[in-house]
Amino acid sequence: MATAYAALVSLTHTIDHILNPSPHHQFNCDRDQINCLRQKADFLIDNFLENRSSIAGDHKEIEDLETRMRVAAEGAEYIIEDSVMNHILGRCAVERVETSTSNNILSECVLTAIQEFHSIEEELVKMKKYVHAKISITTEATSSSRPLPVSETIMVGFDGHVNEIMGALFSNESNLQIISIVGMGGIGKTTLTTHVYNKPFIVQHFHVRAWFTVSQEYTEKEILLGLLHQIDNTNQDDAHEISDGKLGDKLYKTLLGRKYLIVMDDVWDIKAWDMFKRFLPDNNNGSRILVTTRLLRLAVDIGSCIPYQLNLLDEKQSWDLLRRKIFADGRSPVELEGTGKSIATKCRGLPLALVVIAGVLAKSKTENWKYVEEDVTSAVNNEHDDFCMKILLLSYNHLPIYLKPCFLYFAVFPEDFDIKLSRLVRLWIAEGFIRKRGHKSLEKIGEEYLEDLIDRNLILVSWRSITGQVTDCHIHDVLSELCRREAHKDNFILTENLFSKGDSTDYTARRFPLLRVLDVVDEYPKDEILQLINSRYVACMGPLMLMPSSISRLWSLHTLVVYQELSLPSEIWQMPQLRHVEGIEDFKCTEEVIKRIPNLKKLEVVCGTIGSNCVRNLGLLQKLEVLTLSCSPCGREIVFPYSLKELRLHGCKIPWEDMSVIGSLPNLEVLMLFRNAAIGQKWIPNEGEFARLKYLLINQCELEIWEADNTHFPCLEILSLGYLNLKDIPSEFAVILPLKTIRLNCNINNDLILASSNEILEQREIIGYDAIQRVETRVVANDVNPEWDDKLRIVNSSQSHQVTLVRFFNL
């Protein structure tokens, strides 16, 4: 149960704050007792929730235990945070008797939680004594099911995939090849595979064909018996007494010397493949295995080549599939096309949703199409007893327990909403979902969790950075509905109308004194923020906020975002949990401050005038990986840390002859030079510089002559140029092997640059290198607009004083 896991992990974070407080937040409590509670919580996470399949017992019995865990963990955390809040607010500090009473209440509640956890442990020990019986997840898969022919109408948008997979099946490679097809639930993996499997060419080409649907519950015997039954009609009832090893030997001998095609449909883990592959002979005759899965990493691990990844259909393909499923001749009445196209678009390209909604519309009167259009998601999910939802639910059920709370959290966001990775991960951390593992920061672990959800085709990527990292993501509408259903079923999320006009300014603090996350788009009074003692994440709009020293009493705060300028007192250094701050005005980048943020990894600064000491101090940030600097001329005064991987400069006016200070950075992969970042007419890099640079952008800078060759930029992949008086691109760039793209802003209107780029393309073709793409665009794609927003950021780190995201307006 996701809620039990989330409650226990959150409790461990709160306990850690209690046991390791800053010098300014000391709490009087029985540390041995609190530590015992921490150990009990860890035991239940490690030995039950993260390894639930090792526990035997009735499904309902285990769910009851999970509910008890959640209630006990939430109760213990509530009383701890309530005690801390009262202590900080001074409500119990006046009278010693009151303080003693408060500590007694805390001790009693913690002891009750420890006893409850101990009782749950005893129940688990009893369950482990029973014969192991897996908790089953309902599936309708059958081991001997053979796919039926599929009509061509279902194959809309898959023609390219069909041809590619057919090519792989008929390729010249004689050795056994494993071809994997990957995509989210309902995207058409099984449909595509079935279509290929039943083609006459395939039937004639292979001596033996067999199909097995693995799904989430399987045994080795089931797989072997299912395949043998299809290949030589082995009687499954008679063979149940035969050992797995003998069945495997029989399958091996049956396939030996024959050209075979075997489909393993709906594979969920590598174990199924590992137990099965040793019984597959490589006859060196072109035999093939087709594997379908929802998990990208699994597809990569199993496949002999790059997986075939199925994408969502576009709007045209969606409408084509929908109308061909509804109307026998594939033609729709003109008066229904507008509504039909709108419905198709709202299915967001998911073939399963389109097929289900086609069934709804085919049985509906035409005048009812408008009602379906108003709520397509509900119409999809209500058809055939939630047929679509049951298919998608398999993906959720198979998630490891630590990913379930993170996935369910998408229910708090609106449909069709792009979510920034940085914001999402910070919210996960604030809610207590991310469990500390090894030496990795919580942010890094959260990013890995998101990548895992993406690999499982549950979350879609909206945007990636130049270096390929995910920056924004979203969830398909149908999966968003799944999130909401599961979240409400487990009481994971409760929706409530919190505010109305006329409410007093301390409304939230009075009603939700232990609120952890405050994320609002409107102005919010700072006085009320200061009452949210246990808040971990605060984001709001407001005028220039002059935060008083009392902000340091927010002992758990790790993210503070104010969408205007923010003035913070020196007491922020008394807040060891603070990791991300956004909106700071007049931040002094002194050597003393730098020493307090040694683990900073991302820094973005926008400023007017800048002192020489400040820009030299930037070199002290020895773990800084990403730097964005927009400031008045500072030229030769800047000192860059050697750890930099990405550098964006604007207005710094560094002479081209001084670019060696940047070229010598050993880890630099991205360099973006905007308006007057560099000055002068001529740039001649030195040999050996920019050894790892992959992306170079020069926009609105003085530059007419550029003398360079492949020894200066040996790893360059993308060159982007805009608004320059440059005479030509160095012709030697043609022999930079990794070069993939040259981007030119159409507004350059420079025939010389266009001509030189053409020469590079032609020369590359002559010498036999991979072709490169020349992109001409009015706004350079994937690049930051030269007219920057003045709200820039800073991200990262992971020890004491982990300030990781700050907006600087002046240094």
Tell me the three-class secondary structure of 513-554, residue by residue. Answer: CCCCEEEEEEECCHHHHCCCCCCCEEEEECCCEECCHHHHHC
Helix (H, G, I), strand (E, B) or coil at 424: helix
Edge-to-edge strand list for the sheet holding 260-267? 208-213, 260-267, 288-293, 177-182, 308-309
Instruction: Compute how many other C-beta atoms are within 10 angstroms of the C-beta atom of residue 131.
Output: 5
Whether the CA torsion 412, 414, 415, 420 is positive or negative: it is negative
Pairwise CA distance, residues 267 & 518, whole Å? 41
> Treating both helix axes as pointing N-terminal to C-terminal, what angle do 189-197 and 159-169 enclose, rounded to 10 degrees?
50
H runs (alpha helix) in 432-476: 442-455
Pairwise CA distance, residues 539 & 559, whole Å? 8
From the number of C-beta atoms within 10 Å of its C-beta (0-12, 13-18, 19+), residue 392 rates as buried
- Closest by Cα among 664, 659, 694, 650 to 680: 659
Chain centre distance of CA 759 = 41
DSSP type of residue 409: G
Pairwise CA distance, residues 598 & 645, whole Å? 17
pLDDT single digits (tens) 732-773: 999 999 998 888 875 555 677 888 888 898 888 888 887 887
Report mean pLDDT in 10-residue bins for the chain, 811 residues.
90 89 74 90 88 62 86 90 83 46 75 89 74 34 39 64 90 91 90 90 91 78 84 69 85 92 90 87 93 91 88 90 84 86 88 86 83 82 71 86 93 87 93 89 92 91 82 90 87 64 55 82 79 88 77 88 80 82 73 79 70 74 87 73 92 90 94 92 91 93 89 90 88 90 70 84 86 64 35 28 32 33
CA atoms within a 13 Å half-sphere pointing along the CA-CB vector of 619 = 11
Instruction: Compute how many other C-beta atoms are within 10 angstroms of the C-beta atom of residue 228.
Output: 22
Pairwise CA distance, residues 727 & 730, whole Å? 10
Instruction: Compute how many other C-beta atoms are within 10 angstroms of the C-beta atom of residue 581.
Output: 24
Instruction: Compute how many other C-beta atoms are within 10 angstroms of the C-beta atom of residue 481.
Output: 20
According to CATH, what is the number of the domain 2-128?
1.20.5.4130
> Treating both helix axes as pointing N-terminal to C-terminal, what angle do 270-277 and 220-232 enclose, rounded to 10 degrees?
50
According to CATH, what is the number of the domain 398-489?
1.10.10.10
Pairwise CA distance, residues 312 & 302, whole Å? 23
pLDDT of residue 800: 30
Whether the CA torsion 273, 275, 279, 284 is positive or negative: it is positive
Helix (H, G, I), strand (E, B) or coil at 299: helix
Chain centre distance of CA 453 = 6
CA-to-CA dists, residue 497 to 440, 508, 523, 722, angstroms:
38, 12, 17, 49
Pairwise CA distance, residues 332 & 323, whole Å? 6
Query: Any idea which residue has 């998601």 for tokens?
Result: 377
CA-to-CA dists, residue 740 to 44, 148, 764, 774, 775, angstroms:
51, 44, 11, 9, 11
Helix (H, G, I), strand (E, B) or coil at 782: coil
CA atoms within a 13 Å half-sphere pointing along the CA-CB vector of 546 = 0
Pairwise CA distance, residues 606 & 791, whole Å? 8
Pairwise CA distance, residues 434 & 403, whole Å? 9
Phi-psi region at 154: left, alpha or beta (left = phi > 0; alpha = psi -120 to 50): alpha
From the number of C-beta atoms within 10 Å of its C-beta (0-12, 13-18, 19+), residue 424 rates as buried
Residues 731 and 759: beta-carbon distance below 8 Å: yes
pLDDT of residue 503: 52
Residues 6+ apart with CB under 8 A from 324: 153, 156, 330
Instruction: Compute how many other C-beta atoms are within 10 angstroms of the C-beta atom of residue 203.
Output: 11
Pairwise CA distance, residues 280 & 255, whole Å? 7
pLDDT single digits (tens) 679-729: 999 999 988 899 999 999 999 998 999 998 888 899 999 999 888 888 889
- Closest by Cα among 320, 323, 380 to 346: 380
Specify the DSSP element, H or E, that contains 250.
helix 244-255
Query: Any idea which residue has 């049956």 for tokens?
Result: 254
H runs (alpha helix) in 171-213: 189-197, 200-205
DSSP type of residue 657: G
Pairwise CA distance, residues 221 & 244, whole Å? 6
Residues 404 and 2: beta-carbon distance below 8 Å: yes
Helix (H, G, I), strand (E, B) or coil at 431: helix
> Treating both helix axes as pointing N-terminal to C-terminal, what angle do 387-397 and 477-489 enclose, rounded to 10 degrees?
70
Residues 6+ apart with CB under 8 A from 194: 147, 148, 149, 150
Pairwise CA distance, residues 301 & 527, whole Å? 54
Stated length of the chain: 811
The CATH class of 152-309 is alpha beta
Residues 268 and 214: beta-carbon distance below 8 Å: yes
